[in-house]
Amino acid sequence: MEITRKRAGRACVVTPQVKKIDANVAVEFRKQLMELIADGENRLVLNLGEVDFIDSSGLGALVAVLKNIGPEGRIKLFAVKDGVRSIFELTRLDRVFDIHISEKGAVESMK
């Protein structure tokens, strides 16, 4: 599973290059995000613009990363498609993962 990343101020913008975040990729997805945290990144902005599908395995990976990011850490999401967003809403995880429309909005909310 490939993810790309770039710096935007204090935040690290991460883009998973996959259409589906399911059990097939969730372990690797979680591992790569955990490695970013281990490298000192604690303000992650996730671009889900490529992602058409997420299931409970993908959600579980994100929750695990959130719990590991520390009290000062934050995770923001943007470019979340309707189908994916509906799963966050169904599980009420939209309340813990701040969802923004644009990268700019997500990055600025980190300040």
Binding site for another protein (CB under 8 A): 20, 22-24, 53, 55-57, 59-60, 63-64, 66-67, 82-83, 87, 90-93, 95-96
Nearer to another protein, 20 or 100 (CB): 20
Measured from the CB atom, is 90 or 101 closer to another protein? 90
Measured from the CB of residue 18, what is the shortest distance to another protein in angstroms? 11
Q: Name the residue among 86, 94, 38, 40 with its Cα closest to residue 62.
A: 94
Residue 10 CB, nearest approach to another protein (Å): 24
Q: CB of 87 within 8 A of CB of 58?
A: no
Minimum distance between the CB of residue 43 and another protein, rounded to whole angstroms? 19
The contacts of residue 19 (CB under 8 Å, 6+ apart) are: 50, 51, 52, 53
Give 76 or 103: the residue with its C-beta nearer to another protein: 76
Please answer whether residues 77 and 100 qualify as being in contact, where contact means their C-beta atoms are separated by less than 8 angstroms. yes
Nearer to another protein, 56 or 102 (CB): 56
- For the bound state, the minimum distance from the C-beta of residue 11 to another protein, rounded and expressed in Å, comes to 22
How many Å apart are CA 59 and CA 53, to the nearest integer?
Answer: 11
**Cα gap 102→77, rounded to integer Å:** 9
